[in-house]
Structure 1
Amino acid sequence: MNKIKYLFVVAGAALSVSAQAQLRVEITGVGSNQIPVAVATFVNEGQAPTQISEIIKSDLQRSGAFKIIDAGTITDMNTIDYGAWKSRGADAVVIGTVTPAGNGSFDVRYKLMSTIQSSKLSQLDQQAPPQYGRLAAHRIADDVYEKLTGIKGAFSTRIAYVTQQGRSYRLEVADADGEGVQLALSSNEPIISPSWSPDGTKVAYVSFEQKKPVVYVQNLMTRQRTVIANEKGSNSAPAWSPDGSKVAVALSKTGNTQIYVANADGSGLRRVSNSNGIDTEPQFSADGLYIYFTSDRSGGPQIYRMSVNGGEAQRVTFGGPYNISPRISADGKTLAYISRRDGNFQLYVLNLETRQELRLSDTTSDESPSFAPNGQYLLYATESGRRKSLAVVSVDGRVKQRLTIQAGNIKEPTWGPFMK
């Protein structure tokens, strides 16, 4: 039995957030080839505080990769009429049970059955405390996604973002579906540029609480904060190395903003870019050997790449006169960025092997892209009706989601890593 541990819950309970801050998700579009999946109501799931099967359905549907077939309740976990389900158009059937396990916990058992192969594809048994029922459901959805697409699911990951209402700024963390919101930091001064550590236990960000931009790293379990960069001038744009040992930042301590790298505790600060222009928004490559960054050294902002040790930089973006905010997919093959064309700021991706470019958004004020850890979706900030909201789009542009809150603006998103 797999007992659930969740590293995002801060000791003592957790940091409740008002209902106004809860994210609302709207979905449009579907994938090009949807997989039909029947999802049964889990036996006795009404005994638990969480409707496991509904969360699984919502996750799979939100991905755009599946067509959901309501299967009702299947009480016999050992006998599946494959032919009957195949005739209803289902390629696979999800079944499960929820059983009290004492101390308020529940045993959540699930099986994924293939009507094409007439056999079991997968099963997962978890023991979940009541507050982790949603996580148990997300993990099942992850398993279904991976077994049927061959790509790791990201439903059990987390996102971080900043909400603003008047002069109140809040750095919040939530499930990938917008539920389970928790507060990491509240301030009367702006909070920008949050960035997850690779192990998902910390977030680096820029806070203006000292009346100037300072880079912090905050442990989400202990709430302990460490100052990473508080140099003369601006301290901005923190980004983690893939192994979590380094943080790249943009500092203006010597005049023009340049790229620096420090150890994760703020020690060992060293300069890695050296230009007469502005170099900012660093991002480590997937293998940690290079840094992508934005620079105006060619006359307008474009994205460049240089060795993590500095040296000559190579220009990467050539489509359009203004490209900023580089982000690299986990496999290192795709660059996401914001491009200004015809006066619109929109989300683009560039295949670094074929050099093929694709515009993913149809909005006009996009900011702060962030890849899902499986590389299949991008989270970004945008604007609609003079209010800032978040959006998610699949890397082929077909599936779109909008995430909004009841009051105020939501911006500066970052998608967290897979959790071990």
Structure 2
Amino acid sequence: MHLLQRTAVSTFCFVSFLCVSLGFSGAAQAVLEIRITQSSDLARPIAIVPFEWQGEQALPTDVSSVVRTDLERSGQFKALAEEDMLAKPSAGSRINWQNWRTLEMPHLLVGKIRSTGEGRYAVDVQLFDVNRGRQLLGYSYPATAKTLRRTAHKVADEVYEEITGVRGAFSTRIAFVSVETRSAKDRTFSLQVADADGHAPRTVVRSSQPILSPTWSPDGMHLAYVSFRNRQAEVFAVNLRTGKEQKLSGFDGINGAPAFSPDGNQLAMALSRSGNPDIYVLDMKTRQLKQITRGYSIETEPSWSSDGDTLYYTSGRTGSPQIYAVSARGGTPKRVSFEGGYNASAAASPDGRNLAMVHSQRGSYRIAVKDLKSDLFRVLTDGPQDESPSFAPNGQMLLYATQKGGKGVLAAVSLDGRVKQELLLTEGDIREPAWSPFNNGQ
């Protein structure tokens, strides 16, 4: 949740949690489905042969299918259909190279799964450069029935990085807020965490009052978020392993928009304890609070640069919301966004080169990215109400919230805008997405 409520005019104001809650409905534990709505015409061909399994009982997870789905939804790969395969080798020694060269497959992934006793498995995989007839990767991953899917994500990460040179993010997780609605006055808000592909969602915090603005700690062990459980906005953190919660900020007025620093030692927030909302930084060890901005306008939605030296935030000092940057130690702010009359909700890319934001375009709110070196500004989405951008930890995709058919959904778009996905609950709405770091606490 942003402390800024977007409207069709170029003004913004703070709203109560009651107004925010009106946009949610549906079941908190419904299944997430991913749909690829736009693919890249530059996707790399790859053959992923179904992994061999000679056990008597079916495995709980089709590992090669998960790998295939991961790579295809990245938009960087187009997998050969199984029915088009001329053979299905399970190891390099069984490959007829001409079969795959005939199909013009530059890369080939083969594998097999072996039982190692007592409910344990070994997942053996090999990735080959077909044209050169050379092995690129060869690993044997230990797994259990419970971890087979996680192992599949690891395989996809390795293949992705080997071929693209960019670290894969399939083993990461996402956080989001869903709401179960029984009546207009009877809702249950849930902060949930799921795998990056939407699998295995679980509720970590449940409340009868709104939960907003989840943000990951760099070690992936905690989520900070805004809660209205005590009838005002307060900032809490929850340990994802133990479920233990602690209040981080509960001053009179607004406590919102938490954001962990890259080293996890500080938490930036928007607080109105001195009057107008300003940006503050909380030292997580000493609990000392430092005010960063001092103005007569609304200053909110802080976001850290990748090196931790700069805070980007939304300010209304010009009469409409724009992105500003200020030293994390305080100082004179510098305006960053100049394109159009509305830019808010900044999110810096992990490499520090790009800044994502919500941009108003002809009355619609869309996700845009600004290259901080070249100043190139690109609008990536075309929805009427896109918000809350969050970068994947490898910087290749942006997760965001949007509307589809009057229903809240999550969506993702590649940094070049070529690949688009939707993540929908089978029932209800979802909002407030946050993509985990690589070190995601699993």
**Structure 1 position 407 matched with structure 2 position 419:** no
Deviation at 1:101, TM superposition (A): 2.0
SS in 2 for 1:57: helix
Taking the aligned partners of 1:169 and 1:19, their CA distance within structure 2 comes to 8
Q: Deviations over 1:312-345 (max 9, x none)?
A: 0000000011111000000000000001121101
**Structure 1 position 55 matched with structure 2 position 75:** no
Q: Is the 8 A contact 1:379 1:390 kept in 2?
A: yes
Taking the aligned partners of 2:140 and 2:209, their CA distance within structure 1 comes to 45
Deviation at 1:20, TM superposition (A): 5.5
Deviation at 1:19, TM superposition (A): 9.2
Q: Which residue of 2 aligns with 1:332?
A: 352
Q: Which residue of 2 aligns with 1:7?
A: none
Q: Which residue of 2 aligns with 1:40?
A: 49
Q: Which residue of 2 aligns with 1:68?
A: 79
Q: Is the 8 A contact 1:48 1:106 kept in 2?
A: no
Q: Moved runs in structure 1, 4+ residues, more than 6 A?
A: none
Q: Which residue of 2 aligns with 1:194?
A: 214
SS in 1 for 2:412: strand
Q: Deviations over 1:151-209 (max 9, x none)?
A: 11111110000001221111111111100111111111100000011111111100111
Q: Is the 8 A contact 1:226 1:265 kept in 2?
A: no
What is the identity, as a one-letter code, of the residue corresponding to 2:287? S
Q: Is the 8 A contact 1:162 1:192 kept in 2?
A: yes
Deviation at 1:264, TM superposition (A): 2.6
Taking the aligned partners of 1:311 and 1:231, their CA distance within structure 2 comes to 24
Q: Which residue of 1 aligns with 2:251?
A: 231
Q: Which residue of 1 aligns with 2:234?
A: 214
Taking the aligned partners of 1:159 and 1:40, their CA distance within structure 2 comes to 29
Taking the aligned partners of 1:289 and 1:391, their CA distance within structure 2 comes to 30
**Structure 1 position 240 matched with structure 2 position 260:** yes
Deviates more, 1:307-316 or 1:47-56: 47-56
Q: Is the 8 A contact 1:48 1:98 kept in 2?
A: no
Could you tell me the TM-score, scaled by structure 2's length? 0.89
Q: Which residue of 1 aligns with 2:170?
A: 155
Question: 5+ unaligned residues in a row in structure 2: which ranges?
Answer: 1-26, 182-186
What is the identity, as a one-letter code, of the residue corresponding to 1:277? S
Aligned residues, how many? 403
Q: Is the 8 A contact 1:229 1:266 kept in 2?
A: no
Taking the aligned partners of 2:390 and 2:29, their CA distance within structure 1 comes to 24
Q: Is the 8 A contact 2:160 2:168 kept in 1?
A: yes
Superposed CA RMSD in Å reads 1.5
SS in 2 for 1:254: coil
Q: Deviations over 1:344-372 (max 9, x none)?
A: 01110011111111111111101110000
Deviation at 1:268, TM superposition (A): 1.0
Q: Which residue of 1 aligns with 2:127?
A: 112
Considering Cα pairs closer than 8 Å and 6+ residues apart, tell me whether 1 or 2 has the greater RCO: 2
**Structure 1 position 180 matched with structure 2 position 200:** yes
Q: Deviations over 1:238-260 (max 9, x none)?
A: 00101111110100111100001
| Identical amino acids, percent of aligned pairs | 41
Deviation at 1:132, TM superposition (A): 1.1
Q: Deviations over 1:119-172 (max 9, x none)?
A: 000122211121111110011111111111111111111000000122111111
Question: 5+ unaligned residues in a row in structure 1: which ranges?
Answer: 1-17
Change over 3 Å in CA distance of 1:377–1:113 after alignment to 2:
same
Q: Which residue of 1 aligns with 2:390?
A: 370
What is the identity, as a one-letter code, of the residue corresponding to 1:67? K
Q: Which residue of 2 aligns with 1:164?
A: 179
SS in 2 for 1:73: coil
SS in 2 for 1:27: strand
